[in-house]
Amino acid sequence: MTAEGLPSPCEVIPHRDPFLFLTGVEAVEPGVGASGFWNLTGDEPFFAGHFPGRPTLPGVLMCESIAQLGAYALLSAPEFAGRLALFGGIEKVRFRRQVLPGDRLDLEVELGRQSRLAGRGSGTASVSGEIACECDLLFVFASA
């Protein structure tokens, strides 16, 4: 499915400001994968302290934004709708470039094996076609 007619992130995942790191979803194949983005305005409070005079997006927040897109793809599948997906682990994380205020972080996620209890996925975050972060995700389900 492409962006037209897709629900907003807040309609699918439970995250809210100040911990919503997914601005929009451009395409989703429920239970399989998705593409989306996070527009970094520079007004985000973490930039003030990470780092003063040289604001940089924390790498763990790149992983979180990939995970939020993964949750969107997962919870878009009818069999998982309304569930709560939590981190079970992050593996093979690599940070390739700095992400700055004003950047658009493009996100891609592919979901792997899933069960009613847990699953796997992998994703990337990039800026202007340059990979900034890549990681493998493990998630577990909790009652919502």
Q: How far apart, in whole angstroms, are the C-alpha atoms of residue 85 and residue 115?
A: 12
Q: pLDDT at position 25, please? A: 98
Nearest to 124 by CA among 101, 96, 103: 96
Asked if pLDDT for residue 53 goes beyond 70, the answer is yes
Asked if pLDDT for residue 4 goes beyond 80, the answer is no
Q: Are 87 and 138 in contact (CB under 8 A)?
A: yes
Asked if pLDDT for residue 138 goes beyond 90, the answer is yes
Asked if pLDDT for residue 142 goes beyond 90, the answer is no
The average pLDDT across 54-82 equals 96
Q: How far apart, in whole angstroms, are the C-alpha atoms of residue 96 and residue 21?
A: 19
Q: pLDDT at position 1, please? A: 65
Which is more confident, 101 or 2?
Answer: 101
Asked if pLDDT for residue 132 goes beyond 90, the answer is yes
**What is the SS3 assignment for 113?**
strand
Structure tokens at 49: 């302290």
Domains with residue ranges and CATH for the chain: 9-142 (3.10.129.10)
Q: How far apart, in whole angstroms, are the C-alpha atoms of residue 133 and residue 98?
A: 9
The residues carrying an active-site annotation are: 50
